[in-house]
Amino acid sequence: HHSESVNFSNRGMTLEAELNESNQFYLSHEIAVIHKKPTPIQIVSVDYPKRSAARIKEAYFRRASTTDYNGVYQGRYIDFDAKETKNKTSFPLKNFHKHQVEHMRQCLKQDGICFAIIKFISDQSVFLLRASDLISYWDKQTAGGRKSIPRKTIEKIGVLIPYQINPLLPYLHAVDTIIH
Amino acid sequence: HHSESVNFSNRGMTLEAELNESNQFYLSHEIAVIHKKPTPIQIVSVDYPKRSAARIKEAYFRRASTTDYNGVYQGRYIDFDAKETKNKTSFPLKNFHKHQVEHMRQCLKQDGICFAIIKFISDQSVFLLRASDLISYWDKQTAGGRKSIPRKTIEKIGVLIPYQINPLLPYLHAVDTIIH
Ligand SMILES: [Mg+2]
Ligand SMILES: [Mg+2]
């Protein structure tokens, strides 16, 4: 069981930093081209000083209408979001926005490879959860079902992503198991 | 010839606005899920007022390390950048940054569908140019070749995207011709 193996995770790193580092490995080894999208910003006011770079003086964060990561792996479109939870026994669905789930639904219709990467911070374990499974829980919630996915369920229907050295989070192995 | 047909282009609209509108059509008709990436920003200082939204007080534009548009169409990864030129007889390669061309090279290695959409503002004509062709001119330039691609060449090796009503720029038709 994974809890007995050596864990290369770094407790100081966010899941996002771990994924960015892994994506950099995949990019430099020509395994996949996957990037995090920039944070969407609403710009209100910009200064254009004569001899230096344009300076944004007033701007606000906008809610993303898509997931955070996408790219290409062996010709296939890859699309996912990454979420951390401090919860030990379940993953709260409120970590997702409606727009992100709708985006996943749209990508699945186009035959994209869509999923969530979920990290339980308490024991640093990380899972890939297929978008179809996430959407199924999401829709049940809307119909009055539970507001979270039990961790036991994620262990059963998800794919464990064990930390290793290079890349730190070899999530494309997990993607291979959901493609084939 | 296209110059004789009715042109639905709107001279007040930027190519980016035309593409965003076309992508919205493709999305709502479940034809493809393609979005423009947010502009990358380096945030320096943020205010967190008690009763209102976080306000970015100082930030700077960063150079994008990828192209502007990507997404999924019939399971395939789509990746492109859009460029307008006022030049009438050629497309200046300086419209692209090195990073964008390297990103296209990386995506092609992963079997992604990569291209540029080029608009000649003078007569509102729009072409799809395969990334492989763009890269070939780019590499020749680096080796001392010409700094632009002649319009006549783009007319010959590119694919014309005629304006229509819905979507305004039916560029996925042009994509079909480069996939098949
Ligand atoms: Mg996120
Ligand atoms: Mg651009």
Q: For residue range B135-147, list pLDDT tens digits in order.
A: 999 999 989 999 9
Q: Which residues fall within 8 angstroms of residue B14, CB to CB, at 6 or more apart?
A: B84
- Check A75 against B76: CB less than 8 A apart: yes
Read off the pLDDT of each residue in B16-35 and give the average, rounded to a whole number: 97
Q: Name every residue in B having a CB less than 8 A away from some CB of A.
A: 27, 30, 32-33, 35, 37-41, 53-62, 65-66, 70-79, 103, 106-107, 109-112
Closest CA relative to residue B56, chosen from A65, A51, A40, A20: A40
Q: Name every residue in A having a CB less than 8 A away from some CB of B.
A: 27, 30, 32-33, 35, 37-41, 53-62, 65-66, 70-79, 103, 106-107, 109-112
* B6: pLDDT strictly greater than 70: no
Nearest to B37 among A30, A37, A111 (CB): A37
Q: What pLDDT, on the 0 to 100 scale, is given for residue B1?
A: 45
- Indicate the pLDDT class of residue B43, thresholds 50, 70 and 90: very high
Nearest to B33 among A72, A75, A110 (CB): A110
Q: What pLDDT, on the 0 to 100 scale, is given for residue B52?
A: 87
- Give me the percent of chain A exceeding a pLDDT of 70: 96
Nearest to A110 among B66, B75, B106 (CB): B75
Residue B127 Cα, ligand 2 centroid: separation in angstroms?
A: 15
- Check A57 against B57: CB less than 8 A apart: yes
Q: What is the mean pLDDT of chain B?
A: 93
A121-169, pLDDT tens digit by residue? 999 999 999 999 999 999 999 899 999 999 999 999 999 999 999 999 9
Residue B27 Cα, ligand 2 centroid: separation in angstroms?
A: 20
Q: What pLDDT, on the 0 to 100 scale, is given for residue B131?
A: 98
Cα distance from B130 to chain A (closest Cα, Å)?
A: 16
Q: What pLDDT, on the 0 to 100 scale, is given for residue A114?
A: 98
Ramachandran sector of residue B71 (left: φ over 0; alpha: ψ -120 to 50; beta: rest): left
Cα distance from A107 to chain B (closest Cα, Å)?
A: 6
* A180: pLDDT strictly greater than 90: no
The residues with which A78 forms a beta bridge, in sequence order, are A71, A113
Place of tokens 């039916």: B170
pTM for the complete prediction?
0.92
Q: How far is CA A44 from the centre of its chain?
A: 29
**Helix H segments across chain B?**
15-28, 98-109, 131-142, 151-157, 171-179
Residue in chain A nearest B33 by alpha carbon: A107
Residue A70 Cα, ligand 2 centroid: separation in angstroms?
A: 18
A100-130, pLDDT tens digit by residue? 999 999 999 999 999 999 999 999 999 999 9
Low-confidence winner among A109-113, A122-126, B7-11, B73-77 (lowest mean pLDDT): B7-11
- Indicate the pLDDT class of residue B3, thresholds 50, 70 and 90: very low
